[in-house]
């Protein structure tokens, strides 16, 4: 089974509107971290936001916020007031704790969502 699922291959949003990019994850480890990265057409991966499994509040970073629903195992990224520069691929990733038996260094990525912001 996939550990990270991003069900939206592509999304469109009008400039200045908000958009939600979906991410569900699969782990039996009680300790894990969730990351969102942005990949513009240039290719570089840019870290956006982090949510820990034990964090009580949803993470926020500027226009980015995370809608973390632990029971549903979802960590959706919300971008408010979209800008043309937000057009990019967005990847959700997870790091599991050592109790999963895997490497604590490994980030497992989803396949990404291509966001297009229309003027």
Q: How far is the CB of 112 from another protein (least distance, A)?
A: 6
Q: How far apart are the first and last CA of the chain?
A: 38
Collapse the DSSP code of 98 into the 3-class scheme (helix H, G, I; strand E, B; otherwise coil) and give the result: helix
Choose between 1 and 119: whose C-beta lies nearer to another protein: 1
Q: Is 97 in the site for another protein (CB under 8 A)?
A: yes
Q: Is 31 in the site for another protein (CB under 8 A)?
A: yes
Among 25, 36, 68, 91, binds another protein (CB under 8 A): 91
Q: Is 77 in the site for another protein (CB under 8 A)?
A: no
Strands of 40-104, DSSP E:
46-52, 60-61, 64-69, 74-79, 88-96
The C-alpha angle with vertex 115 and arms to 81 and 80, in degrees rounded to 5, equals 15
Among 1, 28, 41, 43, binds another protein (CB under 8 A): 43
Q: Is 95 in the site for another protein (CB under 8 A)?
A: yes
């Amino acid at each position: 089974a996939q550990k990270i699922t991003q069900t939206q291959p592509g999304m469109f949003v009008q400039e200045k509107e908000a958009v939600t990019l979906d991410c569900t994850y699969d782990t039996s480890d009680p300790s894990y971290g969730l990351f969102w990265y942005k990949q513009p057409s240039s290719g570089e991966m840019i870290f956006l936001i982090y949510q820990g499994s034990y964090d009580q509040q949803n993470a926020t970073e500027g226009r980015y916020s995370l809608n973390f629903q632990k029971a549903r195992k979802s960590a959706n990224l919300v971008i408010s007031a979209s800008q043309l520069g937000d057009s990019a691929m967005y990847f959700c990733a997870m790091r599991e704790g050592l109790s999963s038996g895997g490497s604590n260094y490994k980030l497992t990525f989803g396949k990404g969502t291509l966001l297009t912001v229309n003027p």
